[in-house]
Chain A
Amino acid sequence: MSEAVASPLASSTALSLVPKAVGVQSMKDFKSDQEVRWCPGCGDYAILAAVQSFMPELGLARENVVFVSGIGCSSRFPYYMNTYGMHSIHGRAPAIATGLAASRRDLSVWVVTGDGDALSIGGNHLIHALRRNVNLKILLFNNRIYGLTKGQYSPTSEVGKITKSTPMGSLDAPFNPLSLAIGAEASFVARTIDSDRKHLQSVLRAAAAHEGTALVEIYQNCNIFNDGAFDVLKDKSTAESALIRLEHGAPIRFGPEGAARGVVRDPRTGDLAVVDVTPENEADLLVHDAHSPSPTHAFALSRLTDGTAFGAGAATPMGVFRDVARPVYETDMAEQLESAVTRQGQGDLAKLLAGNDTWTVVG
């Protein structure tokens, strides 16, 4: 038996109540015996592998990790994790996970959901989990299509999307998931992509260390019904000028050598704009501050793309947009329970049942 690995993550406040693993864990420990049944080539495989190989880094007792999902392709995820898991019903995973996390602070609770599950049928539960700041890590697989029901447009599909249910093009304006989350008072918001394991795991690391709800949007390719939706961000020739890697404390710049671009704030409107970096404007580049108490900065960054048009001069930020400390729901709930005992004393059932107003009948 080897010594427990002292993971810096495991000792973070967010995970302090979760029992630690004894011995070294490997990716294999987190693979269940179930056959993975996604379509060959699905982006979900890459995300599953990234999560399975990341989990040992947390150093948590496997039995104290729970994955909860809703319905959709991504929601099969818990079956493939050798932890506790629940594959529930469409859209309700954040609600179910809230009850579990609120009643069991010794668990590390993860929610796996998709764009239809989280933003359409389950939109209400998502925004309320975010505002409450329950200690959940929500992985939102966004492929911008309904896969399991065979290819209808989703709430993140671009306007005019031709699908089986929209032969003349979809009419609804899409959600920008990160703008929505920030508007719902999310304390942690990040974006990553299925094909970049290193980046994906760096975001998972930050999410795991965050106390409260973490929303991680993962761009995920559905090679059957919406293939290539994120190619611009994946193709080396285009990605460099289309993708912004956010780093806390660093000026926001991207693009190839010699054609550097950056993000500045228009002093008149307060909006952000992408500009070519010149010696004159270099000092004006916006410095990324993920810990800014005000959501304005993160929100403005989330508006750089509407999440549907990635090419043609648009730039898509990736990484941690927002990571701020806010009261955590179940911590406060536990404190209320403790303070109730302090104030009223441990509950006495006989006293409760009798109340203050009794009379006696003598037999």
Chain B
Amino acid sequence: MTSQVSSPINEEHEGPAPSLGAPVGALGEQRTSGKQTRRLDRVIIRFAGDSGDGMQLTGDRFTSETASFGNDLSTLPNFPAEIRAPAGTLPGVSSFQLHFADHDILTPGDAPDVLVAMNPAALKANLADVPRGGEIIVNTDEFTKRAMAKVGYGANPLEDGSLEAYAVHPVPLTTLTLEALKDSGLARKDAERAKNMFALGLLSWMYHRPTEGTESFLRKKFAKKPDIAEANVAAFRAGWNFGETTEDFAVSYEVAPATSAFPAGTYRNISGNLALAYGLIASSSRSGLPLFLGSYPITPASDILHELSRHKNFGVRTFQAEDEIAAIGAALGAAFGGSLAVTTTSGPGVALKSETIGLAVSLELPLLVVDIQRGGPSTGMPTKTEQADLLQAMYGRNGEAPVPIVAPATPAECFTAALEAARIAVAYRTPVMLLSDGYLANGSEPWRVPDVDELPDLHVEFASGPNHTAADGTETFWPYLRDPETLARPWAVPGTPGLEHRIGGIEKQDGTGNISYDPANHDFMVRTRQAKIDGITVPDIEVDDPSGAARTLVLGWGSTYGPITAAVRRIRREGGLVAQAHLRHLNPFPANLGSVLAGYDKVLVPEMNLGQLAHLIRAKYLVDARSYTQVTGLPFKAEQLAQAIAKENADV
């Protein structure tokens, strides 16, 4: 076992690899035979540096290289809310973790095998996560007395022996970058900024990543500043060559493409927010309704606004409103006019939108409310993940105002979740909550690009004529006359002759929609609106219980899918029994959920909140669901969940 191996399933082939092809890319030919190549089945890398060091970009590029190479992968960007926290401080550290493998993987990994630390703060903030034996690449240039003192290092950790347990590669990244760019004509400050590309080049060499993509990316990104583009490419190549030539890096590693992990198809890498934006555009296309987004910038949801703003050629209207309330208000107005209306936000924004969501419940118009959950309460931790808006989504309105809830389990699943939310909204004429979170939003994974024709048909019929005959025989239009099956009311859009009608937030009479304060009518309308949501058809929940003999069921929802599944695999590998089920619909619950729960002695519900799903499950099904919770702003680790499941199993 070498430092690269952090899991018993890792296989390793020592010695020179028999037939290693040169890596794809322009630099491939430069590889010499003097170095050793080892084959690994998976690797976890963490890039860490100052907020201004470009670690997210570095991570994104390594991810793109890895995706195009064909590995399965999962990423975890982790950055402070401050755009540029004070340089060199612990709060200013930004990191990007990437897990890639030759088989299917589910999480960004518990602990990094390799840490790239661009300064003392990055080392100090991340060291505790690196297992003993792990590799650490440090930028020695930044280990000045002052920089070390800033984060509380009395002595230089690179020299005082405190890192003895790790395989440390001290590299003067800044000096080497400046040396590589000395003929570039760039000012020192500009040249120095390319050091992240030097690091990326080095890591690309270490892991045989293809390099063409990064070079063309850099040339495109800095198209207007060709000297900067060339400097970054030069730094990137210098990093690659440094790995190739220096003796400190004697070994490089190969992780084969994860061909067998994926069904046949065309794949790309995709983040949750991008998948969600694409899902909205696809919903518009499949329903034939123009997309209208009303949004107010908020972390971590803003990227959906940015992305949709770029696709006006799909007829997408994006409206950056004056506040969260106006954002959903404009969306609701567009829904009245016949658009596929969406508002995107995070927890604090949902709180502000509550009254308008209630209005949408009362108006019975289709509306998608996308909540990219983050750490709360209040402003909380804007860039960290959490699942603590479930009860807000479920109950956070005045009066009885039921709203369906859909929650994707992985970044790529945000695409199908958007289509599913749109299906429900349009078919049942209701606002729908789509609960993603910061981890899904920014994390990425490979996605099989779907065939457009296999996407669901969301076609909708607007009301076009009278639907009621009055006692005197006149044909009239009743805006609240329901479809007997779905209980949906007609969607009659302005511009339709003869269907002029008024709707509002005041209680209305069943059928006519006229204002009504009649006690029996109100009771009926409240129950009918609830029955409509309760009656939404959602797919049954699937249970993964290969042996059929498990007595504990782990039930999850949302982004905990990855860590829960990884934990369940660990338990089973060690001979343990456990069943797993994951909810994509939280309101209404799948029809078979009650019987699934009744089939197990124990139900364990891991959540990144204080037990909100467990609360709903216990209330509805009277089962003794047990919570396992964490609210650190970070996703669960697989090992941690495996232990929790094992403990539960031991008590059975």
Contact = CB atoms under 8 A, between A and B. Distances in A.
Interface of A: 19, 32, 34, 61-64, 66, 68, 71, 78-79, 81-89, 92, 95-104, 106-107, 124-125, 128, 333, 336-337, 340-341, 343-347, 349-350, 352-355, 357-363
Given A85-B501, A89-B355, A358-B267, 20 more contacts: A84-B502, A86-B502, A88-B504, A88-B505, A89-B359, A95-B322, A96-B336, A98-B319, A99-B319, A100-B333, A124-B323, A128-B321, A337-B313, A340-B313, A344-B313, A347-B285, A347-B314, A352-B278, A354-B266, A359-B266
A69 to B, nearest CB: 8
A103 B329 contact: no
Interface stretch (B29-37, B62-70, B187-195): B62-70
Contacts of A336: 312
B281 A347 contact: yes
B265 interface: yes
Interface in B174-213: 213
Contact of A99 (B70, B311, B314, B333): B333
A95 B317 contact: no
Contacts of A355: 268, 449
Nearest to B329: A95
Interface in B289-344: 290, 292, 294, 311-317, 319, 321-323, 325-326, 329-339, 341
Contact of B333 (A61, A85, A95, A354): A95
A349 B285 contact: yes
B503 interface: yes
Contacts of A107: 337, 494-495
A100 B336 contact: yes
Contact of A353 (B70, B282, B313, B359): B282
B269 A357 contact: yes
B506 interface: yes
A99 B313 contact: no
Contacts of B497: 61-63
Contacts of B495: 19, 61, 63-64, 104, 106-107
Residue of B69, B316, B359 with highest tally of chain A CB at under 10 A: B359
A19 B84 CA distance: 53
Contacts of B68: 357, 359
B278 A102 contact: no
Interface stretch (B6-14, B256-264, B593-601): B256-264
B363 interface: yes
A51 B266 CA distance: 60
A362 B448 CA distance: 12
Given A347-B281, A347-B314, A357-B64, A103 B292 contact: yes
9 contacts: A79-B502, A84-B500, A125-B322, A125-B325, A128-B321, A344-B313, A350-B451, A353-B282, A360-B266
Given A84-B501, A100-B336, A92 B329 contact: yes
A64 B496 CA distance: 8
A102 B313 contact: no
B514 interface: yes
A336 B498 CA distance: 33
B549 to A, nearest CB: 33
A96 B329 contact: yes
A148 to B, nearest CB: 12
A71 B504 CA distance: 10
A83 B193 CA distance: 62
Contacts of A68: 333
